[in-house]
Every structure is written in structure tokens, then in C-alpha cells.
Structure 1
Amino acid sequence: MRKNLLLSVLCVFAFAKAITAQTSEKAKQYKVKTVAFYNLENLFDIEDDPTINDEASPIMEMAEGLRADVYQKKLTSMARVIRKIGADVSQSAPSIVGVCEVENRKVLEDLVNHPLLIEFDYGIEHYDSPDRRGIDTGMLYKKSDFKVLNSDSRELIIYDKSSGKRKYTRDQLVVTGELEGDKISFIVNHWPSRSGGEQKSRPGRVAAAALNKKIVDSLHSVDAMSKIVIMGDLNDDPTNDSVLVTLNAQKDREDVRPQMIYNPYIQMLKDGFATTFYRDAGFVFDQIMFTYPLLNEANQEGYRYYNANVFNPSFMTNKRGRWKNTTLRSFADGGFTGGFSDHFPVYVYLVKEITDADDMKVSSDK
């Protein structure tokens, strides 16, 4: 974990140096936007919903008199993290935050209206999924930065091989909009878990990747140079077949061609990063990847990828014992720990050079 923290710090310094790089004429200036993904670990409200299995959530398993207090503390923990992701460089909370393990739209409304986040005026994209536990994906966006053009929820239909019965899981959220005029589509995921073992559950994640590929192909059929960002808790590492084979995500940016996908988290896994832990092993289940036009090599206007990170500051980690330096999760041993999540968030910086035209627009807006 110390290695991860050091690498993150070095990335920030390298970025700061590059962002003010001198040319023979003048220093280039850039707008910087953070795009993040965060598994919020059982962000459920305190009301019993008879249509889902929410009584099995950690909050609902607590004594009724404790639920409201724990819920507010959980919201505070999530808001505290979100406002800090990428802020050391972008000087603000993320423009886009994909989330998962949320019960409904209400918990997202409570989150964006929390005192730590309300100043950023986040909008919400969310649809109820058929997942039996009632957990959904969602996307938060700064209304000042991002304008939603359309959104949709794509159903993942998979079946249990032994029983033939359908396994109800999370839908995939697709949001297309303009990031300060730059058209970008976001696909927010929470792929099927490894319950029952990695091998037995693998077909569900391969099917989820195939649905992602279908969505990407459909967007490319409209515009072959679509800027598309895929994010989520994939319950697979970036080196598993679902990502490497089904999505054909590339480790090296020089291998990426039009209508292909680049995944910076393949290298991050190799470098020793982890976003979640099970027993004594770390995994990079949380990833952000994107299509070719967001790379410098594509020579496209607008925002482009700069670098990728795992947000793993010391205040979000266990400080001692067997689990030292792993995620300080919200719930453990049937109680609320005062922690955050069993996943670290991931994030990328998107940058756009400020031109004379941008300067004129800023002046005219004043």
C-alpha cells in the first residue's frame, strides 16, 4: 500500500509539472476534470421496501433506534470521500461520479444534498434494477459541467446453468451528454459477483462484458469516433477474460486503434495497486477504461485522457492488525465501523487545453 500511495503522489507531481509545461511562446494552460467511480458499499436507507430483500442490508439488520444515526454517518463518510477525489489537481470535486451498491434514487438525493456536497449541485441519473437485493448503479454529475442528452438502462439477462432460472442482477446505466460541449458517453457497471466461486460465476461477468461491447458497438455505429467511458465494479481484474478477451481492452495505448478500448488499470494491477481485498489478496475490480478518441493519439478536439489513479488516502485505510493498509469498510461483524467502503474509488483526469477562444468566452461570461 505504501507503494501505491507513493505512486499516486508522484503522479500528482508529474501532472502538475506537465500542466504548466513551457513552450517557446508561452505556458500552456489546461482545464482539468475528474471522472470517478465509487462502490458505496450498501448505501441503503432505513425504510423497509417489501419489493426487495433490503432487510438483509447491514443498516436494516441493526436495532431500529440506531438506523437513522448510522445512515447519516454513512452519508457523511461517502460525501467526505467524493468531495476529495482528484481535488488536489482539479481543485474541485469530480465532474462525473459513477456509483454502485445504492438502494434507490432517494439515497442518492440524500447524498448530493449532504452539506459536504450540496455546493457542487450534482444531478442524478438512476434507474431501479431487478437485482434481488435491490442494489443499483447510478451516476452523479455537476450540472455546471455536464449536460445530459439522453440516458438508458440496459438489462443484463443471465441464467443459472444448473437450474435454468434467471439470475436477477444489476442493469448497466448508459448516459450520453456534453462535458462543457464535448460529447461523451458513460457506461456505469456493477457486474455479477463471484458468489459460488470465480469459475462458477465467470459466465455472468463474461455476459456483462458482452453487453458492454454491444453498447459500445451501437454507439460506434452512430459515430465511429465516439468518446465512451466504461466504469464500474467489474468483480473481475483487468486481466480476466471478460475484460481482456470479450471487451478486447488494451494495456498499451500504442496498440489502441479506432473503435478499440484502452484500460490503464491493467498496468496499475501489474504495478501493485488494489481497489478491494479478500482474505490476504488485493484485486483491481474497480476500473475506468475508454475508447480511442480520448487518447492524444486520436488528435481529437475537446477533453482527452491524462492519467488514472486509485484514491487510497491513509484516512480510508485500516491502521493496524491483519488488515493493515486495506480498505476501512463501513460495516463489519454485524456493526457500523465508522469507515467508508470495502472498495477504494478509482478516477481519471480529463484535460483540455485552454485556447484564445476559451479565454474570450470566459471574459464574455463575466
Structure 2
Amino acid sequence: MKLKTFFVLLLALIAIQRVNAQAKSYILHTVAFYNFENLFDTINDSNIDEEWLPDGAQNWTSKKYNQKLENLARVLSEIGTGSIQDKKNPNSPTLIGGAEIENRGVLEDLVKQPKLASSDYGIVHFDSPDKRGIDVALLYQKKHFKVTSAINIPLIIYKKQMDASAKKKNEADDASDDKSEVELNSERVYTRDQLLVTGFLDGEEINVIVNHWPSRSGGEKKSSPFREAAGALNRKIIDSLVKINPNAKVITMGDLNDGSYNRSVKVALGAKLKKTELKESGDIYNPFEQMAKDGNASLFYRDAGDIFDQIMISQQFTLPDYNSFRYWKAGIYNMPYMIQTVGQYKGYPLRHSINEVGFSDHFPVYIYLIKQIN
């Protein structure tokens, strides 16, 4: 009888533990990055935007511009709305990093789109020195994220950095149609600033860096020093944040124009493949490196896929407890309607053409942050 009673009590205890485990609930936030690919309005500006005007090469009319906004809004509203613990997550991304943005005005038009308006996105944007006039920005849901500071940090690079390292001539053009501009006197290469935004995500301080690193124009190897300089600047920013706060939580994301295996990411920034490799607070984990090894891609060029769009996190997001926001998992958002279905570029992202307003030549990427609340 005593033995029987013991087993009954043991089974009851196991059942109670299971109920408690099932009763756990979490706060979930999606963080996304999307290269909007030439999000230009139809107004002639001081930057080089003649191609993106009604009488320009793209015949960029108000109708096409509005369709582009509608397309982007559809994608952004859906990212991260998958399932967690068999429950639907209805919320669009809390934080969205963006690239290839002409000005603040196009972002204001974007967040007013019907599919995004209810999310009440705020905007952090600065004009960068890029001569094409394309910038990076951060959109954030005001009800969840409170901005405390924002700064654009310039990437100062010079043509001589490319020339000094380039021994091979006539390399193939790169996978990006993004071109850096060079000032003839100083030969400075004008490219995008790195945007640093600090704020409180549901009361917890985090730092977000939004990037669009220099293109591969002139060839991957020849232009690599520019992106290595961008990675080094990223590393410097992160080190500064950790010096101020040893427990700083940092997210760095963007179109890096390099894969997770390139020197700019692996050496200059020092991103790690595995969470077990993280030893210090400022160490960076890149979940997209394994995804690339598994054959996933956020863009394609010459029949080869790669992941140039990456979201990386500092060690503090990878700690084993869930008492504050932690990294859960990452993904690439590539729904069928965003993919070219016919022709030479079948399987590629459905981008804009002269006859069709697509989405982008990149797929957006995202991560989930979760926090246990009971």
C-alpha cells in the first residue's frame, strides 16, 4: 500500500510539473531588416534621382510609387506573424531596419499604408552622404519601443584603401547595383552612415545598429577593404557601448554586401557561428551563418544564392535564462508571392522591372526576441 501510494504521489507531482511547464507564457517581439531596393518618390531632389522620375529611365510614376509602397507594406505587416507555442502571433515587427531609402518622406508614406498604419510606427532617419541619396533607417512601434538617443556615425573610407589592396585588374562586377561615389579631390568614397539607436523595449534597454555596407562595385576582392572598414566601425561602436555598460544588449543588422563568411563579418566584426563561442559581453553571434551553410539565401546573383542581409546579436541576448529578452530564432521571409515564377530569374526575389512593380531584389530577414512573464 505504501509503495502504491508513493507511485500515485509521484505521478501527481509529474502531472503538476507538466501543467506548470505548459502554463509558461512569453512576450514575443520580431526584429526585421529589409532592403527596400530603390524606395524613391517621384519628386526631383538634389541627389542623383533622375532615373526615378516620371520622365526618367524607370518611368517612375505616382501609380508605380504607390504600388511599391503597398507591396512593401504587405511584406512588412506579415513578417514574424507565424506561430509560437501553437498560438498565432498577430503583431508585425516591433523594430524594422531598412536600406535604400531616398528620404524621410518615403518612410512617412510607407508607415501610413493601410496594412501598417495601425502599428503606429515611429521613424529614425538621417540623410547620409551617399551621392545616390540612399539612406538607412529604423522603424519602431511606439507602444513597445521608446527611443532615448539616435546618431548617424559616418564611415570614412578612401579610394586608396581599395587601390592599395587590389592587385588584380578587370575583376567581374559585383552582385549589387549599388554604386559608391568618390570625391575627386580627397578621393573619399561616400557611402551610408551607420545608424545607432538606443531605447527601451518594453522597459528594457537595447541598442540597434542599422547598416548598409559599401557595395562590391569594381569586384569583390578589390572592394573588400571598404566593407572590412565598415565591419571595424561596427566593432568599435559595439565596444564603446559595452565599455559604458558591460551588460549592454546590441543588435546589429543590415545589408552587408558580404556573406557571413567574409572578412568584414568574421574578422573585422568578429561574428561567431556558435553561441558557445561567445566568451565576453561584446561578442557577437550570427545566426545567419549556419543558415547560409544550410543553403538558404536572401538574394541571388548569377545563379548563386547568398545571405548578405543579416541580423546579429551580442552575448547578453544568448544567456540561458528568459527573465529578460533573449534571442529565440531567425528566419528569411520569402513567401511565394515575393518570388519570380517564370523566366531566366525564376526563384529570385521579385524585383521592380520597367513593366512590373515588384518588391525588392532581397528577401527580408528577421529574428524573434522572447521574454518569460510567468
* 1:311-345 deviation per Cα after TM superposition (whole angstroms, max 9, x unaligned): 01111001123322211112x3xx15231000000
RMSD over aligned Cα atoms:
1.7
Give the number of aligned pairs.
329
Residue aligned with 2:289, SS: helix
Match of 1:72 in 2: 66
After TM superposition, list the pairs within 5 Å mapping 1:33-182 onto structure 2.
33-49=29-45, 51-57=46-52, 61-62=56-57, 67-89=61-83, 90-161=89-160, 162=163, 165-182=187-204
Inter-CA distance 63–319: structure 2 relative to 1 (3 Å threshold): closer
Residue aligned with 2:82, SS: helix
Supply the distance in 1 between the matched residues of 2:243 and 2:76 (Cα, whole angstroms). Answer: 34
Supply the distance in 2 between the matched residues of 1:25 and 1:230 (Cα, whole angstroms). Answer: 33
Supply the distance in 1 between the matched residues of 2:54 and 2:22 (Cα, whole angstroms). Answer: 55
Contact 1:42 1:58 in 2 (8 A): no
Contact 2:103 2:135 in 1 (8 A): yes
Contact 2:41 2:52 in 1 (8 A): no
Q: Which moved more, 1:24-33 or 1:167-176?
A: 24-33
Q: How far off its partner does 1:96 sit?
A: 0.3
* Structure 1 counterpart of 2:56, one-letter code: E
Match of 2:28 in 1: 32
Supply the distance in 1 between the matched residues of 2:54 and 2:208 (Cα, whole angstroms). Answer: 30
Match of 1:240 in 2: 262
Question: Given the alignment of the two structures, is residue 354 of structure 1 paired with residue 349 of structure 2, yes or no?
Answer: no
Question: Given the alignment of the two structures, is residue 313 of structure 1 paired with residue 335 of structure 2, yes or no?
Answer: yes
Q: How far off its partner does 1:300 sit?
A: 6.8
Q: Which moved more, 1:175-184 or 1:23-32?
A: 23-32
Q: Which moved more, 1:155-164 or 1:318-327?
A: 155-164
Contact 1:70 1:336 in 2 (8 A): no
After TM superposition, list the pairs within 5 Å mapping 1:335-354 onto structure 2.
335-354=354-373
Contact 2:43 2:53 in 1 (8 A): no
Supply the distance in 2 between the matched residues of 1:45 and 1:60 (Cα, whole angstroms). Answer: 13
Q: How far off its partner does 1:37 sit?
A: 0.2
Residue number among 190, 193, 201 corresponding to 2:215 in the alignment: 193
| TM superposition outliers: structure 1 runs of 4+ over 4 Å | 21-26
Q: How far off its partner does 1:269 sit?
A: 0.3
Residue number among 312, 323, 326 corresponding to 2:348 in the alignment: 326
Inter-CA distance 285–322: structure 2 relative to 1 (3 Å threshold): same
* Structure 2 counterpart of 1:352, one-letter code: K
Contact 1:174 1:188 in 2 (8 A): yes
Supply the distance in 1 between the matched residues of 2:191 and 2:346 (Cα, whole angstroms). Answer: 32
Greater Cα radius of gyration, structure 1 or 2: 2
Inter-CA distance 26–88: structure 2 relative to 1 (3 Å threshold): closer
For structure 1, the residue ranges without an aligned partner over 5 or more in a row are 1-20, 356-366
Inter-CA distance 91–63: structure 2 relative to 1 (3 Å threshold): closer
Supply the distance in 2 between the matched residues of 1:123 and 1:276 (Cα, whole angstroms). Answer: 28
* TM-score, normalised with respect to structure 2: 0.85
For structure 2, the residue ranges without an aligned partner over 5 or more in a row are 1-16, 84-88, 164-183
Inter-CA distance 167–59: structure 2 relative to 1 (3 Å threshold): farther
* 1:259-311 deviation per Cα after TM superposition (whole angstroms, max 9, x unaligned): 200000110000111001111111100000010000133x4732110000000
Supply the distance in 2 between the matched residues of 1:210 and 1:63 (Cα, whole angstroms). Answer: 36
* Structure 1 counterpart of 2:41, one-letter code: D
* Structure 1 counterpart of 2:98, one-letter code: V
Inter-CA distance 293–274: structure 2 relative to 1 (3 Å threshold): same
Residue aligned with 1:277, SS: strand
Supply the distance in 2 between the matched residues of 1:60 and 1:133 (Cα, whole angstroms). Answer: 18
Contact 1:44 1:59 in 2 (8 A): no
* Structure 1 counterpart of 2:135, one-letter code: D
Supply the distance in 2 between the matched residues of 1:150 and 1:322 (Cα, whole angstroms). Answer: 46
Residue number among 208, 233, 237 corresponding to 1:215 in the alignment: 237
Q: How far off its partner does 1:59 sit?
A: 6.5
Inter-CA distance 346–22: structure 2 relative to 1 (3 Å threshold): farther
Identity %: 48
Residue aligned with 1:83, SS: helix
* Structure 1 counterpart of 2:366, one-letter code: Y
* Structure 2 counterpart of 1:301, one-letter code: N
Residue aligned with 1:87, SS: coil
* TM-score, normalised with respect to structure 1: 0.86
Supply the distance in 1 between the matched residues of 2:256 and 2:290 (Cα, whole angstroms). Answer: 16
* Structure 1 counterpart of 2:372, one-letter code: E
Inter-CA distance 187–25: structure 2 relative to 1 (3 Å threshold): closer
Residue number among 287, 290, 293 corresponding to 1:267 in the alignment: 290
